[in-house]
Amino acid sequence: MKTPLTFEIYSTSKELPPIWNKIAKENIFLTSSYLEILEKAAPKNMNCFFIGVFKNETLIGIALSQFLDLNKLESFGERDKCLKTMIRNFAFKKFSSHVLFIGNNMLTGQNAYAFSDDIDTGEGIKTIHQAATSLIKILKKEKIKVHLLTFKDFYQEDLKTFNLSDFNHFYQFSTQPNMVLQVTKNWKTENDYINSLSKKYRDQYKRARKKAEGIEKRRMNLKDIIANEDIIHELYFHVAKNAPFNTFFLPKNHFRVFKEQLHDKFLFYGYFINDKLIGFNTLIKNGKVLDTYFLGYDEALQKEKMLYLNMLYDMIAYAIKKDFKEIVFARTALEIKSSVGAKPIETFGFIEHSNALINSNMSKLFNYLEPKTIWNNRNPFK
């Protein structure tokens, strides 16, 4: 007879079992150091919970859960002002403002869970679902009704794991793909990458680099980040609020705490003109994978200097120099990311609404609330 799995829910990283990081393995986004960042510098409308899965009192699985209250957002995003967007925003606030995620809503990719080799993944997922149900009850006692339960982001090979009776009432969805650049083995230098591009995209590279003349790029340490915290937040917030839709905004101390916790695994690059910070980007070293994180810039100078495109080229140059296998560029700006060589990888999620009638119509509602993005997939290589 199989030994039933059990779970524990933790609200602080200090409570985590000592072998937690051993289960996290190479995924930095499930380690206690990263989870501590979420405790200290999560968006103000987000509460995080950490789930431990046990077999005979031995930790064999871990998972991250995030609760978001969209009612605490002043704005979902200011770019789109059309009536459809206003209706969508009203619907979110009225019927879907309390969302419980299994996974990380601040990242793209499978950062929801990790298991040891001693566990059947299906059994582990089932136990995490039980923990999510328990969390919904805990929040209910605090007078918080969870509208949506969502498991995100999974790849095609993960889907068979969710072929369980527990997920019969969930709607399987796919949103914008994760843009990932595979770093080819024969790229030893940035010039090798440039030479692999077709003439059209080599010309794009040269044009972007010429436009960036006069910009100084600096790697910023903790002291630099703290000294520039106000302008960093302004540059970030300008980009974030002009996105078509947001479920959170980062607090001002977010990047400082990130650097304090992850040290050299978190890279912060500032872009300056005459000693004035006009943009920044951030990278996270996650084993042999380089994850791009949040950025910010002055919109006028971004257009004039092709700053965003130059940032992408800088990230690629760094990945090649440091021998990373791939760069996770995440979602958004799909076309420009494809123009530097990133390929779309479809990601999937599972969603269930607490209202049975709404849930039975989820396929129609989801396509309305999360419309498909139309874009052209570029191939920049010869």
Residues 312-336: tens digit of each pLDDT? 999 999 999 999 999 999 988 999 9
pLDDT above 50 for 37: yes
pTM: 0.92
pLDDT above 70 for 197: yes
Task: Indicate the helix (H) or strand (E) that contains 368.
Answer: helix 362-369
Cβ 239 vs Cβ 332: under 8 Å: no
The pLDDT, as a whole number, for residue 79 is 43
pLDDT above 80 for 371: no
Tell me how far apart the alpha carbons of residues 236 and 285 are, in angstroms, rounded to a whole number.
21
Q: Is 354 exposed, middle or buried (0-12, 13-18, 19+ CB in 10 A)?
A: middle
Cβ 333 vs Cβ 244: under 8 Å: no
Task: Indicate the helix (H) or strand (E) that contains 50.
Answer: strand 46-55
